[in-house]
Amino acid sequence: MSNQDSSTSNERHKRHTDQNMRRNSDRAVAIFFAIIVAILVLGYLIMTKLADDSRAETCMMAHRKNCGAIEWPSN
């Protein structure tokens, strides 16, 4: 085996290894973005719940009797 054959084989192996690393990296980025989206959605839901609780607490602290949500009759 000549020196040139050895270097060509090493380059092929290096390219193959780089492609495998790239595939894993893309998967890692997709998982990262999925986690970020889940955190944002959960954060939004928690913030809306806290805002509703805050409105109810403010109503109760003002000694109002009817602090529940207003339900409109359906026709």
12 versus 1: which is more confidently predicted?
A: 12
Q: What is the pLDDT of residues 7-58, one digit of tens each?
A: 566 666 666 555 555 566 888 899 999 999 999 999 999 999 999 999 888 8
Q: Alpha-carbon distance 9 to 22, whole Å?
A: 20
**Token pair of 28 as six digits:** 């890692």
54 versus 4: which is more confidently predicted?
A: 54
Place of tokens 């192996």: 13
Q: Report the pLDDT value the prediction gives residue 25, as an integer from 0 to 100.
A: 83
- Helices of type H across the chain: 3-61
- Report yes or no on whether pTM surpasses 0.95: no
Cα 8 from chain centroid?
43
Q: Alpha-carbon distance 37 to 27, whole Å?
A: 15
Q: Report the pLDDT value the prediction gives residue 74, as an integer from 0 to 100.
A: 75
